[in-house]
Chain A
């Protein structure tokens, strides 16, 4: 029941253009991978390949909408996430994207990953930075499950498991 209410609230808020709270949350983590930056970047920039390294992303489909590229992710729970590719910078090895639709306990999510050189040519560092807000966008008191801590824990989970997955896939190739 609670999950259903959370789902409804998330749906209502993600559909509206209502204000988000003024404090964006940040999760920024990195992982060192024993492959060259070029090799790591090849996988990181492959927008449709997220299901190969993020276990929560059961299935991913690339979709073109006009000029824009989207990936439609089906999560383990069956929920779908629409993510829009914002930019890819080959020089900086940086990819940026945002969530445009989805049933998740956070909102206004945008993120980027940067691949940089590690301590030698066959080592790279992948950094993932995410910016987002909590679900509840009005003045306190904040309902349970829609607060900053809940939003942050959910994103932290995605980021930690995603980076671990990237390392595993890249190093076993």
Chain B
């Protein structure tokens, strides 16, 4: 081998080694965690989705239900039903850094695209509260229809979308002016909502269906799912629905709206979130006080992990860095 070739080979080896170490380094620095509100014991469980172990329990306010992870700010906003407050968790140290009294019952929670604002449905007062993540104060509130429950944010259309459970409607508000843009009748008792691209999904608890709304033309489709669906989550090609009384999760192909598979869940699965980076799906099981983790590619169950009493986590509860 000529000297030049040897040098070239050495350079190649060096570059390769550097690449490998960069990849490994990134891998070891990645964070994939699920934050689970345990409504029966006033805590949030931190579940490590790499090791599949319960890492920590954090005490929060009374009866925590809703949650939203604000990735860009490294915080979680937790809504405490009975103490009528928000607990703010610093995700880097997993500690509550602030408790905000709101004089309202917080249900659904969602962050906007850059994480500067967090929107919270106020159940009894028929409002949406706006939390500024800059100073962690409620900066304003706007009125909405009755029994606002699930809430989601569509970045492309700059819309805040809420489910008005007892009115059987979805309301869509402009995320800057907070003006009502559209009200749509959906199935009976819509609770959880989510959105992706130009689609909005609502889980309609009483008629065992999911409504799919196309934001481009307001066209709507209704599909039958399992018993008492509570929440929905979608990625590019698939829709996942937690059937709280079916004890299972319906997987729908978004291209043809056919059922791909029915996944066994724990008891009373309520909420689901997708870890898109690691292709995992996590469901919270209110009845069995646990979460179930699935592989999104094989649609097989990977693990069931005990979390805490009455695990719910209504909202986007996965933190990834």
A residues engaging B (CB < 8 A)? Answer: 17-19, 22-24, 26, 28, 86-87, 94, 96, 98, 110, 112, 129, 131, 138-139
A96-B245 contact, Cβ under 8 Å, with A19-B165, A129-B267: yes
Q: What's the least CB distance linking A4 to chain B, in Å?
A: 28
B39–A86 contact, CB under 8 A? Answer: no
Q: What's the least CB distance linking B213 to chain A, in Å?
A: 23
A139–B287 contact, CB under 8 A? Answer: no
Residues of B255-301 at the interface with A, using a CB-CB cut-off of 8 Å, are 267-268, 286-287
Q: What's the least CB distance linking A26 to chain B, in Å?
A: 6
Q: What's the least CB distance linking B286 to chain A, in Å?
A: 7
Residue of A nearest to B62 (CB): A23
A17, A22, A129: residue with the most chain B Cβ atoms closer than 10 Å: A22
- In the complex, what distance in Å separates the CA atom of A46 from the CA atom of B103? 48
- 16 A-B pairs with CB atoms under 8 Å apart are A19-B146, A19-B147, A19-B165, A19-B166, A22-B107, A23-B65, A23-B82, A24-B39, A28-B287, A87-B246, A96-B247, A98-B245, A110-B228, A129-B287, A131-B286, A138-B124
Q: In the complex, what residues of A have CB within 8 A of residue B245's CB?
A: 86-87, 96, 98, 110
Query: Is B68 at the interface (CB under 8 A from chain A)?
Result: no
Main secondary structure of the interface of A (DSSP, over half): strand
Q: Would you give the 0/1 interface string for B98-138, flagging 1 where the beta carbon is closer than 8 Å to chain A?
A: 00000001010000000000000001100000000000000
A22–B286 contact, CB under 8 A? Answer: no
A112-B81 contact, Cβ under 8 Å, with A17-B166, A22-B107, A87-B227: no
Q: In the complex, what residues of B have CB within 8 A of residue A22's CB?
A: 65, 81, 105, 107, 123
- In the complex, what distance in Å separates the CA atom of A18 from the CA atom of B65? 20
Q: In the complex, what residues of B have CB within 8 A of residue A129's CB?
A: 267-268, 287
Q: In the complex, what residues of A have CB within 8 A of residue B124's CB?
A: 138-139
Query: Is B40 at the interface (CB under 8 A from chain A)?
Result: yes
B166–A86 contact, CB under 8 A? Answer: no
A23, A87, A94, A129: residue with the most chain B Cβ atoms closer than 10 Å: A23
Residue of A nearest to B123 (CB): A22
Q: What's the least CB distance linking A172 to chain B, in Å?
A: 30
Q: In the complex, what residues of B have CB within 8 A of residue A17's CB?
A: 166
Q: What's the least CB distance linking A136 to chain B, in Å?
A: 12
Q: In the complex, what residues of A have CB within 8 A of residue B87's CB?
A: none
A23–B267 contact, CB under 8 A? Answer: no
A131–B268 contact, CB under 8 A? Answer: yes
Which of A24, A87, A96, A139 is in CB contact (< 8 Å) with B286? A24
- In the complex, what distance in Å separates the CA atom of A118 from the CA atom of B174? 57
Q: Would you give the 0/1 interface string for B223-234, flagging 1 where the beta carbon is closer than 8 Å to chain A?
A: 000011000000
Q: In the complex, what residues of B have CB within 8 A of residue A18's CB?
A: 166
Q: In the complex, what residues of B have CB within 8 A of residue A19's CB?
A: 123, 146-147, 165-166
Q: List the 5 closest A-B pairs by CB distance, nearest first.
A: A139-B124, A19-B147, A23-B63, A22-B81, A23-B81
Query: Is B43 at the interface (CB under 8 A from chain A)?
Result: no
Residue of A nearest to B107 (CB): A22
Query: Is B316 at the interface (CB under 8 A from chain A)?
Result: no
Query: Is B310 at the interface (CB under 8 A from chain A)?
Result: yes
A17, A24, A110: residue with the most chain B Cβ atoms closer than 10 Å: A24
